């Protein structure tokens, strides 16, 4: 049995590597308080760009963007791409270690959280030049809690209800505008043998979007943001109202969602086994085959509470940050100034058919119908939220992922009560101390 | 193994005085070599095992996100803004209090670790032993079976997790497709349903664990002196009796190794759950090791709290390790 000793040796090596990693993490702590002087440097010096655009399509789009940026600023740019999950999980040690001069990141609370800990450089001087490109909503998303700018946004995308035009035409369905019409449509689809709402939550985060939109429709934007910041307790009746509303929809959502990845749910919509799917265009449209894309269309989540109408939605914004410990900050700022223009966004969107640029009034020549409609619908919103895992502390989003999976398992009144209790108990330890 | 048991006991005792004389005449070079050979492993041991373990214990009494230094000050005295983490500070036993009372994953994790261990001991290990005994009888094609059964052991657990995800997938998975339960009204959610998913994963884990144990026992069975078995047959023992009364007891060293491997593998259980649930454990799949990683690795690091869970896992692991070491040392003393 020669294989046996080699197996145990391999296991031994593995655990040794793990131990080494653990000490690496631990020893990364002591030596970081006073080295923030690495800013400045050469104004044209080469810079590195940390990217989490690891999928093929966005990676190519990003390469085109950085090439343009390098060409027009004569700053040499090297892109270091990391798998996006890994990138996000390591962001803390990345920013404290030897980060790149620039990095990809997200807007909103998820930005403020790291800015408040002094890990990012403010870029107000960049915004003095690019301020005219963006509207007030984009501006406030790019600011830290201290009022300084920390992000240059690139694109966003809407969370809306997707459907196939051909299915609606063949069955004579109408786009619903009220909750009652929405539920009636779902019921009709079920009778027609379709899965009314394709749904998946094995990845954890997709169902957070459903919570967000129902909360925005039932309680409005201000309430939602207060809840995300734990200024409203999770035991509030407003939260119960959201889950109770969701209960009416639960029978029409695809069964077994907790074991399904969202790509499989999107496939059910694309194969016309499902009638509708509520998710981001960055996922559904990006997952569609190019030949099926013209058949795809969407409508915004229907009105529930008429005092809020369809004024709000989740439209997550992605952009770029300047890590405090990055090298050649002056050169990096030049790149940021270039990226904060409509021309740069147009360049990026040449190969991206699901996101939309954030520059004022930008309609890139390569936009398809989905993108044109996205721009219009986002512009109609009085406010856009970012998504639960960007609007609240990541720990709280993780807690809600599990609690919402529990709700998906058994959408009952008892579950709702226990979810609210547990969410509040965890929020207390996460937000206060 | 057989050699050790048949070795006569007298010679080592006779050699003892001679060896002691040789010790006294160690040259300086011998001493240096001995010091280096003891010192280097000792240093590595201290640096990579004792230091991290001790550091974890110390960190478990702090609150720290991994940003900036840890201040030797109580967290209660420092200012705090809601939602923005405080700098590292001393937290007393608060982490332990939270783990035991408030953290929803803790008790399910302990329970699932215990179930994992029980299934390994009651099901996977005996199954491996059964494979070994059957293969050891020299049935035709024994080598083919051996290779086939051993295949899962050669795959990494991460790969096993991915393979079985394709088998369990609700809409397009192998099982649901074969039994026709992949429609929206009747599908079985193997990995998402909290009453099913732990068992689904234990099938994956046993798929790998049983052949691993099989290999260990095959080696053990080959080492059993065939004359023992012949003697048992001559004395009129049945096959069952021969195995349990004669063969099994002579494999005592292997039995202990297998027991230790089983306990370690079930406490180490991590990869399958991590792969299946993409980091954030699905309900029904909470394990202590996953909870530690989830808190320490990630966008926001709760290093103090994660260390607390690590210390709990350490204390639990110490129980079987101590028993094993106690047994091993006692045996050596007897010799």
Contact between B215 and A3 using a beta-carbon 8 Å cutoff: yes
CB contact, 8 Å: A268 with chain B? Answer: yes
Task: Find which of B49, B56, B67, B181 to mutate to test the A interface (most A CBs within 10 Å of its CB).
Answer: B67
Q: What is residue A25's predicted lDDT score, i.e. its pLDDT?
A: 40
pTM: 0.81
CA distance B131 to chain A (A): 15
What's the pLDDT tens digit per position in A3-34? 333 344 444 444 444 444 444 343 333 333 33
B93 SS3 class? coil
Q: How many CB atoms lie within 10 A of CB A71?
A: 11
Give the closest of B150, B170, B282 to A256, CB-based.
Answer: B170
Q: Is the pLDDT of residue B64 over 70?
A: yes
Q: Which two tokens stand for residue A67?
A: 């090439």
Distance CA B32, CA B36 (A): 6
Contact between B67 and A117 using a beta-carbon 8 Å cutoff: yes
CB contact, 8 Å: B154 with chain A? Answer: yes
Q: Which two tokens stand for residue B315?
A: 């204390």
What's the pLDDT tens digit per position in B87-104? 888 888 989 998 998 888
- Considering only A378-387, B171-180, B278-287, which range has the smallest mean pLDDT? B278-287
Distance CA B20, CA B16 (A): 6
Per-10-residue mean pLDDT, chain A, length 433: 39 43 39 39 79 86 90 91 86 90 92 90 94 88 92 95 96 96 96 95 93 97 94 96 97 93 94 96 91 95 95 94 93 93 90 88 88 92 92 89 93 95 91 69
Distance CA A110, CA A347 (A): 26
Contact between B298 and A394 using a beta-carbon 8 Å cutoff: yes
Q: How many CB atoms lie within 10 A of CB B35?
A: 11
Q: Is the pLDDT of residue B110 over 80?
A: yes
- A153 φψ region: left (φ > 0), alpha (ψ -120 to 50), beta (else): beta
What's the pLDDT tens digit per position in A134-181? 988 889 889 998 999 999 999 999 999 999 999 999 999 999 999 999
Those of residues 158-217 in B touching chain A at CB distance below 8 A are 168-172, 184-185, 187-194, 197, 212, 215-216
Q: Nearest 5 degrees, angle CA A26-CA A28-CA A29?
A: 80
Contact between A256 and B51 using a beta-carbon 8 Å cutoff: no
Q: How many helices (H) and strands (E) does chain A have?
A: 20, 12
Q: Which residues of B touch A433 (CB under 8 A)?
A: 63, 75-76, 80, 86
**Parallel, antiparallel or unpaired: strands A296-299 and A312-314:** unpaired
CB contact, 8 Å: A392 with chain B? Answer: yes
In sequence order, what are the residues at sequence separation of 6 or more whose Cβ sits closer than 8 angstroms to the Cβ of residue A167?
A173, A194, A272, A275
CB contact, 8 Å: A4 with chain B? Answer: yes
Which residue in A has a C-alpha nearest to residue B146's C-alpha? A1
Torsion of CA B179, B182, B187, B192, to 10 degrees: 110
Q: Is the pLDDT of residue B8 over 90?
A: no
Contact between B296 and A116 using a beta-carbon 8 Å cutoff: no
In sequence order, what are the residues at sequence separation of 6 or more whose Cβ sits closer than 8 angstroms to the Cβ of residue A188?
A171, A173
Task: Check residues A199 and B74 and name the one with the higher pLDDT.
Answer: A199
- Paired strand residues for A383: A312
Give the closest of A32, A89, A96 to B298, CB-based.
Answer: A89
Give the closest of A229, A409, A433 to B75, CB-based.
Answer: A433
Instruction: Of B158, B156, B132, B155, give the one whose Cα is nearest residue B258.
Output: B132
Q: Which residues of A touch B280 (CB under 8 A)?
A: 204, 398, 401-402
Q: How many CB atoms lie within 10 A of CB B225?
A: 15
**pLDDT band at B67, cuts 50/70/90?**
confident
Q: Which two tokens stand for residue B54?
A: 């001790």
Distance CA A259, CA B297 (A): 24
Q: Could you give the C-alpha distances from A425 to A237, B64, B85, B304, B308, in angstroms and in order?
A: 16, 20, 18, 19, 19
Q: What is residue A27's predicted lDDT score, i.e. its pLDDT?
A: 38
Distance CA B138, CA B218 (A): 11
């Amino acid at each position: 049995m020669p294989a046996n000793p080699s197996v145990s040796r391999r296991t031994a090596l593995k655990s040794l590597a793990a131990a080494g990693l653990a000490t690496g993490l631990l020893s990364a702590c002591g030596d970081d308080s006073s080295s923030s002087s690495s800013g400045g440097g050469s104004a044209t010096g080469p810079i590195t760009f940390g990217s989490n655009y690891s999928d093929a399509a966005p990676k190519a789009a990003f390469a085109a963007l950085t090439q343009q940026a390098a060409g027009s600023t004569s700053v040499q740019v090297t892109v270091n791409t990391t798998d996006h999950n890994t990138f996000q999980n390591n962001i803390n040690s990345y920013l404290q270690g030897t980060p790149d001069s620039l990095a990809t990141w997200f807007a909103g609370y998820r930005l403020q959280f790291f800015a408040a800990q002094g890990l990012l450089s403010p870029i107000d001087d960049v915004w003095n030049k690019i301020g005219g490109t963006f509207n007030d909503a984009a501006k406030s998303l790019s600011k830290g809690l201290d009022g300084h700018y920390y992000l240059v946004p690139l694109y966003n995308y809407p969370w809306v209800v997707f459907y196939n035009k051909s299915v609606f035409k063949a069955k004579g369905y109408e786009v619903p505008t009220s909750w009652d019409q929405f539920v009636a449509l779902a019921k009709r689809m079920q009778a027609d043998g379709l899965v009314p709402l394709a749904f998946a939550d094995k990845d954890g985060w997709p169902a957070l979007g459903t919570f967000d939109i129902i909360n925005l429709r039932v309680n409005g934007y201000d309430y939602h943001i207060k809840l995300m910041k734990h200024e409203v307790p999770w035991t509030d009746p407003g939260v119960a109202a959201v889950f109770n509303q969701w209960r009416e929809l639960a029978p029409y959502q695809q069964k077994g969602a907790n074991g399904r990845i969202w790509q499989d749910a999107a496939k059910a919509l694309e194969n016309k086994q499902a009638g509708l799917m509520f998710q981001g265009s960055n996922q559904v449209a990006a997952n569609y085959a190019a030949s099926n894309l013209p058949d795809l269309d969407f409508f915004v989540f229907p009105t529930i509470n008429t005092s809020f109408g369809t004024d709000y939605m989740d439209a997550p914004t992605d952009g770029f940050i300047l890590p405090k410990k990055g090298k050649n900050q002056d050169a990096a700022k030049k790149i940021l100034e270039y990226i904060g223009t409509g021309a740069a966004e147009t360049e990026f969107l040449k190969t991206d058919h699901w996101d939309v640029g954030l520059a004022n009034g930008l309609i890139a020549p390569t936009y398809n119908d989905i993108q044109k409609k996205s721009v219009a619908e986002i512009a109609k919103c009085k406010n856009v939220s970012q998504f639960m895992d960007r609007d609240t502390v990541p720990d709280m989003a993780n807690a809600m992922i599990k609690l919402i999976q529990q709700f998906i398992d058994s959408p009952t009144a008892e579950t709702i009560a226990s979810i609210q209790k547990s969410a509040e108990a965890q929020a207390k330890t996460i937000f206060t101390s | 193994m057989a050699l050790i048991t048949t070795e006569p006991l007298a010679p080592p005792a006779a050699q003892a005085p001679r060896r002691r004389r040789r010790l006294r005449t160690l040259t300086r070079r011998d001493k240096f070599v001995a010091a280096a050979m003891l010192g280097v492993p000792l240093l590595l041991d201290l640096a990579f095992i004792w230091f991290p373990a001790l550091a974890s214990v110390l960190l478990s009494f702090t609150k720290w996100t991994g940003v900036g230094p840890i201040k030797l000050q109580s967290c209660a005295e420092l200012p705090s803004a809601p939602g923005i983490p405080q700098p590292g500070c001393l937290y007393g036993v608060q982490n332990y209090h939270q783990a035991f009372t408030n953290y929803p994953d803790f008790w399910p994790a302990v329970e699932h670790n215990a179930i994992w261990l029980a299934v390994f001991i009651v099901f996977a290990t005996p199954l491996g032993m059964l494979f070994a005994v059957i293969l050891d009888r020299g049935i035709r094609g024994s080598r083919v079976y051996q290779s086939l059964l051993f295949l899962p052991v050669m795959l990494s657990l991460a790969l096993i997790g991915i393979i079985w995800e394709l088998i369990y997938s609700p809409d397009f998975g192998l099982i649901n497709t074969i039994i026709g339960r992949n429609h929206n009204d009747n599908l079985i959610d193997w990995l998402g349903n909290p009453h099913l998913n732990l068992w689904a994963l234990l099938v994956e884990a046993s798929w790998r664990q049983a052949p691993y144990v099989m290999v260990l026992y095959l080696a053990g069975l080959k080492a059993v002196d065939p004359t023992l078995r012949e003697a048992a047959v001559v004395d009129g023992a049945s096959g069952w009796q021969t195995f349990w009364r004669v063969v099994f007891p002579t494999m005592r060293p292997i039995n202990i190794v297998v027991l230790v491997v089983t306990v370690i593998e079930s406490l180490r259980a991590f990869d399958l759950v991590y792969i299946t649930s993409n980091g954030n454990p699905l309900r029904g799949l909470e394990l202590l090791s996953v909870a530690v990683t989830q808190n320490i690795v990630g966008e926001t690091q709760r290093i103090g709290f994660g260390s607390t869970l690590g210390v709990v896992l350490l204390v639990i692991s110490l129980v079987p390790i101590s028993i094993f070491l106690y047994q091993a040392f006692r045996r050596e003393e007897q010799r």
